[in-house]
Amino acid sequence: MGRFVVKIHAASLEKLQDLQRIFDVDVVRATARQIESHFAVEAIVSDMDIEKLRSEGFRVEVLSDADELGNQRRKEVSGY
């Protein structure tokens, strides 16, 4: 099961708040924004979470593979 950095779009602020209250999503609070008539926030979720959120009406945009980013950073820090 992979982990991904995503941007989640919701129709209302309440729906965005549901990400933590109901779905227990690990959101990056500093990224929460109102974009025209909807709201968005970045989060780290599994591939199963992506499908669940989409089925609940959220638009989920995958930004990067969190597991791959972690591997790259470990290589940078270790010098290999």
Q: How do the pLDDT tens digits run along the chain, 80 residues long?
A: 789 999 999 999 999 999 999 999 989 888 999 999 999 999 999 999 999 999 999 999 999 998 787 777 777 787 76
**Does residue 26 contact residue 45 with C-beta atoms inside 8 Å?**
yes
pLDDT value at position 9? 97
Task: Indicate the helix (H) or strand (E) that contains 53.
Answer: helix 47-55
pTM of the entire predicted model: 0.84
Q: How many other CB atoms sit within 10 Å of the CB of residue 18?
A: 16
Rounded CA-CA distance 50/64 in Å is: 13
pLDDT value at position 77? 82
What domains can be seen in the chain, in order of their start residue? 3-78 (3.30.70)
